[in-house]
Amino acid sequence: GRGLPRGTIATLDWTGLRETVAQCRACTLCESRKHTVFGVGHERAHWMIVGEAPGEQEDEQGEPFVGAAGKLLDSMLRSIGLSRDEGPPERQVYIANTLKCRPPRNRNPDPAELAQCEPYLQRQIELIQPRVIIAMGRFAVQQLLQSQEAIGRLRGRVHRYQGVPLIVTYHPAYLLRNLPEKAKSWEDLCLALSTVETAA
């Protein structure tokens, strides 16, 4: 492809990784994107959230979860004392997506795109070394757990990604369409909180 080899990506520091993503032309999403969306948050945040892919607003602004789903996510995080941009690392969340570029008209990511983009997310996780990862929605779950199971069957227990505790929950865009499910996502955040506190 037109990207760096996996082995090279795995050696990049934050600056190198950010620049590589900004210039990535490994799949065709580079042709329609306005901005790459790398990720946001403290580089040693204890919490990490992995979403799906940038939408229209994220593509405009170059930042993850800034649209309607992001507003819901931020308010859920705030309600348990977490933030994407302030506070000590224990209270900060690094937010990234499985895909760094917006799929046209927000269509689903395709398997080749997910495979091309995976080393970037992997390297972000290695650099951050979060205490807990929250995978939101089926594409984040497929990427990190290599599982095709439904969210409803995977949530409610602690999984692992390369040794890091991983909690599965619904995507906030899904919650906006299915408000009663918010209670379950709330439980999932509480499970993540107790996982972090038990490990500390």
* Binding stretches for ligand URA (CB under 6 A): 51-55, 58, 64-65, 67, 69-70, 97, 173
Surface-to-core class of residue 142, CB atoms within 10 Å of its CB (0-12 exposed, 13-18 middle, 19+ buried): middle
Question: By C-beta, is 4 or 169 nearer to ligand URA?
Answer: 169
Q: Which residue is nearest to ligand URA (CB)?
A: 51
Q: How many CB atoms lie within 10 A of CB 17?
A: 22
Question: By C-beta, is 60 or 90 nearer to ligand URA?
Answer: 60
Question: By C-beta, is 4 or 64 nearer to ligand URA?
Answer: 64
Please state the closest distance from residue 3 (CB atom) to ligand URA, in A.
21
Closest CA to 44 of 14, 66, 17: 14
Question: By C-beta, is 4 or 53 nearer to ligand URA?
Answer: 53
CB contact at 8 A, 79 and 193: no
Please state the closest distance from residue 197 (CB atom) to ligand URA, in A.
26
Please name every residue paired with 169 in a beta bridge, in sequence order, or none if there are none: 136
